[in-house]
Amino acid sequence: MRRCILGIDTSNYTTSVCAVDADTGQWVSEARRVLPVKHGERGLRQSDALFFHVQQLPQMVRALMGGFSEAARVTWCGIGVSVQPRPQAASYMPVFRAGESVAETVGALLGAPVVRTSHQEGHIAAATYFLPDMTGDRPFLAVHLSGGTSDVVLAEGTRFGYRVTPVAEGADLHAGQFVDRVGVAMGLPFPAGPHLEQLARRVSSSTLRLGGRLVNGRLSFSGPCSAALRAIEAGVDHAEVAYAVQQCIANALVKAVDEALRRVDVNVSDCVIAGGVAANEAIRDRVCRRLGILRPDLRVRFAPARYSSDNALGVARIAWKFLFRGR
């Protein structure tokens, strides 16, 4: 008999489920699928995304169970689910109701406790799962870069997930939106991140400069996005535009982290960068290089690229920590 915790995350563009071992907190099985977006579209309405989650959740659960050996019998000891984008009272998105509804239903049927958390905390927990030297609860800087978030926060582990203190939020257009709008304008599929990264590899430099700005310490990408779209209309090589977008995001991120470290009033030695945009290898390399010069005492950490994008591992781990760790 195997005792497990189920994690469910229904973000704006991915249906995700994951199982971790209730005794150890270790990954056991997972399944996820990006929501379908028509070619040329820059995203989904919340009502459509919610509908696709309802369609995909049963398929993902079946795929999750396929990851167990045929002889394994599973006892579900708890369920973790993301119910909002950020751990803030006013943070809300309808898509998270899909996962919450399934978690409540399954929890009631099995008599299993349901642990609610946020999508942002799930990203942080997924990253720290791969950083065993960060299992303690000392504060660290966390950056969440995605289609709906460009946040820099001070995070401190608690039994309930994380105590998150915002240091800087996106000023306007978020990093993931920047990538997707430029990518779709170049004819790339949505979400455009992996395709834009592949396109950028065709060149080793670009004459196009897109200046990332900080507005009172907050990341701003609306101006660079407009400049990139004008460059596309002017016939600038798409690979050069893609390369410039990556450089712009990396440079802005370095500025934001450096500024955030000036703002926090505690000693911070680690910076964990998560979210779909953080899966980009070129952005990772440039950020590590430049922060290594500016902040040599700061350890810049990333999850593996697969777990930078939306997933339910962190959500399951938060539930495990709440229900079983230390007991």
Q: What is the pLDDT of residues 148-195, one digit of tens each?
A: 889 999 999 998 899 999 998 888 899 999 999 999 999 999 999 999
* pTM given for the model: 0.94
Same fold across 2-130+308-323 and 168-302: yes
pLDDT at 42: 86
The 10s digit of each residue's pLDDT in 86-110 is 999 899 999 999 999 999 999 999 9
Domain regions of the chain by residue span:
2-130+308-323, 168-302
Q: What DSSP state is assigned to residue 97?
A: H
Nearest to 228 by CA among 199, 256, 268: 199
What one-character-per-residue DSSP string does 57-74 give? HHHHHHHHHTTS-TT--E
Alpha-carbon distance of 47 to 44, in angstroms, equals 8
CA angle 75, 317, 124 (to 5 degrees): 160
Percent of all residues in the chain with a pLDDT value above 90, rounded to a whole number: 85
Tell me the pLDDT tens digit for each residue of 9-31: 999 999 999 999 999 999 999 99
Identity (one letter) of the amino acid at 31?
A
Could you read off the pLDDT of 262-290 as tens digits, one per residue? 999 889 999 999 999 999 999 999 999 99
Helices 281-294 and 238-263, axial angle in degrees (round to 10): 40
| Rounded Cα distance, 146 and 49, in Å | 17
* Mean pLDDT over each residue of the chain, to the nearest integer: 94
Helix (H) or strand (E) holding 121: helix 119-129
Query: CATH homologous superfamily for 168-302?
Result: ATPase, nucleotide binding domain (3.30.420.40)
pLDDT in tens, 225-245: 999 999 999 999 999 999 999
Q: Which residue in this structure is represented by tokens 């700061």?
A: 298
- Architecture label for domain 2-130+308-323: 2-Layer Sandwich (3.30)
| pLDDT at 140 > cutoff 70 | yes
What residues have CB less than 8 Å from 111, skipping those under 6 apart?
none
